[in-house]
Structures are given as C-alpha cells and as structure tokens.
Structure 1
Amino acid sequence: MTRETPPDLVTGPTRTDRPSRTTARTMLNKVPEVTLYFWIIKILCTTVGETAADYMNDTLGFGLDKTSYVMSAALIIALFFQFRARRYVPGIYWLSVVLISVVGTLISDKLADDLGVPLVITTVLFAVLLAITFAVWYATERTLSIHSIVTGRRETFYWLAILFTFALGTSAGDLFDEKLGVGYWPTVGIVAALIALIAVAHLGLRLNAVLAFWAAYILTRPLGASIGDGMSQPAKNGGFGLGTTGTSFIFLAVILALVIFLSVTKVDRTENQSGDREELDEPDSVTV
C-alpha cells in the first residue's frame, strides 16, 4: 500500500545537504524498497539469527566465543561486498542482514550469559546506543530515511543502527519472554499486536513514516526470535520440537527462495523503469 507523506526534516534531507545527483546516481538503491517482501524476509532473518546462533553454539559445540569469531568474520566479509556494491543487490544485502542478526544475538548473549550482565541492563544499554546512533546520524545527515542511503557515511549509520536493533531486540525479547515468564507464542502475539498498532498509527493517524519504520524494525527482532524458539524448542517447553537445525535450515531455504525471486523479478527495487529515480533521496511516498 502506498501512502503520501509530507516532506520534513526527518523523512528527507534538506535541499542544502542532499547528496549531488551524480553521487546519488552512482550509489543508487543500497537498500530495498519497504514492501511486504521486505518484512517477510526481515522476520525470517531474525528467526535465523536466533536459531543459527544456538545451532552453532550448542548443537555444533563451537561455544559462544568461537561462534562469535566465525560469524563476526563472515559479517565483515559480507559488509565489505555490501559497501563495495554501487546499488542494492538482494543476495549481498540479505546475507548481511542474516549475519548481522546472528552477530547481534551473540553480542547480547555474550553479555547476558557469559558476563552475567542482567537483561534489564543490556536492554537499556542497547537502547541508549541505538538512540545515540540515530542522534548522530540525524545531526550529521539531517535525515533518518532509509530511502536516502546513497552515500557511504549514511550506509555506515544504517548498518550500525541495524546491529543495535538486533542486539536490543534480542535483549528485550529475552527479558520479556524468559525472565518475565510470558512464553514464546504469547510473546509472538503481543509483539505482532504492537506492530499492527504501529501500522494503524502510520496509515490512519499519520505517524511519521521513519519513526514507524524503525519502531516496527526493532519489534520484528523479538517477534522472529520468539517464532524461532517456539518452533525449535521441545514440546515440554511450549515449542514444536523441530530443533535449531531443522528450524534454521527451513527458514534459510525460504529466505534463499525469496531472494532468488527478488533478484529475478526486481519487484523490491526503488528505481523507475528507466533505471533512475526522480527524487532519489526525498521520496514523496512510503510503501508499507
């Protein structure tokens, strides 16, 4: 669904600080359009982030430290190619999201499980780090819009924010799900309801598009993690008993199929048929 949104300093940069047309055209579409496919794959990635970390840590016996080293190295390689690309490439982009989801989970788990930092503290810590990232991003670029990721600096802010959203979502989800005893599937229902409220507020009450996007983005992390736990954990713990191996491979297979589909159809590209976008960094509509 497409909704017109009024231009302001949050949804798009000012005329004086926007990148030049030459720069924007040479770095076009570093992120996908926000469509239904985007949210489906994002939730699948968050689920894999939870189950894949557990799979490598526990099932394969790598341990938390070795798993963290391996996945961090893989993330650095993926982001190297992501930053090298001059436009949005589905395979590279979504591989980076999967890996940053795993790394964000591992960071939260390292602090909570190995170092004994309370989940309340880690949740507050990552919330503060995310807020600082947004503040510096906006102070520097005068926009937080994902439609304006057309420079290397904006892309750096973008991926840093994503890392903290995954770490924050993991800590907040674990706090709500485990420490408060809510359970996996009740957590799924509650978080899904919150995301639905954000969508209604955006579509019906004109909640700022950028604020709505990032709020929903954060909430998809505990949503996906709870789905992953609910599918992988044994029935005695309220799960489906598929295990981390089965759950991880099922979701990875679905992600791969969707990424191949998007690579072929290009339905999540933001450029028009001629290959150029009329307003590269200040769109007049947001797709949700």
Structure 2
Amino acid sequence: MRLVFGLVLIAGLGLAGFAVYMAQNYIGAYQSALEQERAKSTTAVPTRPIYVANRAITQGETINPEDIRLAPWPVELLPEEYFDEKTPFTKEGEQPRVAIRGLDKNEAVTAVKVSEPGGDAGLTSRLDRGQRAFAIKVDVASGVSGFLRPGDRVDVYWTGRVPGNDPNLPQGDVTKLIETAVRLIAIDQMSETENASTTIARTVTVAASPQQVAALAQAQSTGRLSLSLMAANDDTVAEAIEVDQRSLLGIAAKKQETQAQALEVCTIRTRRGAEVVEIPIPCTN
C-alpha cells in the first residue's frame, strides 16, 4: 500500500514539474513573439522627436518652455515647419512666442500656429482687460502726416458746431479735447511696429473703454476728429481744452445791459380846502 502511494506521489510530482516546464516555455515563447512584434512595429513606423503642446493653449497666449515637450512623431506624418532639437522652438535670449491659433494637448507645434519670437497674435492680444478696439477715420492733416505708429499715444480733438441760440454756448465752430493719451494698436490693416516707412493712413484703430468708444463714435458722427501725437516718455495729463472762434480771435462777448426805464407818471393837483391833492392821470404826448 505504501509502495502504491509512493508511486502515485512520484508520478504526480513528475506531472506537476512537466506542467511547470511547459508553462515556462509557453510564456517565454509568448514574450519572445511580443518583443519581435514590437521590434517589427518600431522598424515599420519610424518616428522623430518633435515639439508638441504639453497642455491646451488658447489663441493669443504666451508659450513658455514648460508648455511644450519633445514627443515621438511618425516620420511619414511630420507636419510642415515643425520644431525639433535641430530647429529649436526658442533660442537662448529670445523673447517667447505667442499662439496665433489654439493648440490642443499633444498637438504638433508648427511655425504657422505661433508667432515669431516677441510677436503677438493680432489686435486681440494688444487689448487690455475691459478694452475695445475702435477705428477712427483720418487723413493727411488729422493723422499727423503719416507719422503715427502702432503703440503711439495720441490726444483726440473734436471740431464741430454746437446747436442752439443760447448766448452762453460757444458761437461758431468749437474745438474741444475729448480724450487724452489714447493708445493706437493698428494703422489701417497694419498692427506691426517694425515697418518704419511713412504712409498716409485712412483709419487708425485705438484701444478704448466702452465709455470712450461711445464718446468717440458720437464725436465722429457729429464733427471732425483730429489726433495730436504725444511724446513717448510724456506722462502728463492734458487739462480740459475748449476753443471757439471768439476766444481764438480774442473777441470778448458783449454783455447786454438791460436798463430799466422809469415809468413816467402824470398828475394833476386839486385843492380841497386847505389841502392840495395830486391825482395821477394818463400821460399824453
């Protein structure tokens, strides 16, 4: 009985060892086949590390070094004008780039989607919080002879006629300073500051608050607007200025003095006993 039990135990251990051996061979063959497939896929789809967005980047946002990273990209699907180690996104000492278009996470960063170093994404990136862009019509006289550039600051003067016959109102055309130190963000369709040529603009675009936009729109529809260029380092605030034709020519307004005419009264004297009484009567010429 013991002999039979021993033989059964030995047979069981042998079968268990054979099963473990077969399982190890099977697992080893599977891992080997998997590595071979991986090697084939790597060989079949060559990749190249290029810069991709490390997070979602909105239009007009500045792209910092931590916002991008190198990631493998299929060589056959490489986009045009991509950035890699040979063509770095930014070089040392350069200003950061700005996203011209929105970028999704893991999207390839290309030259058409970003600005040049130190550039911007257009007018929207030049507006501060709460500001709006407003266009003003100008000509060679009101536009400072074409010497305006994006980034300059100007004072805006309105010239027009005040309606009404009130003698207290300015007479004739009047010129008034309505806005001061307004920042220009574009000249015609140009918002870049590198262009140094002098051009006669037809419109200039300014950055203004909604209240200023309403005032400029009303002034532009009721009169003529003229711009006065400020110095780059001028931090003064212009005082209220208003000039009409009389003040320009130094003519003082005549004060109309109303003289009260004394009412003429005619009387007759009547004696009543010892008393003389004056009785008023209508005067006749």
Higher RCO, 1 or 2 (CA under 8 Å, sep at least 6)? 1
**Shorter-chain TM-score: what band?**
under 0.3
Larger Rg: 2
User: What TM-score comes out, normalization by structure 2 length?
Assistant: 0.18
- Greater helix share, structure number: 1
- Greater strand share, structure number: 2
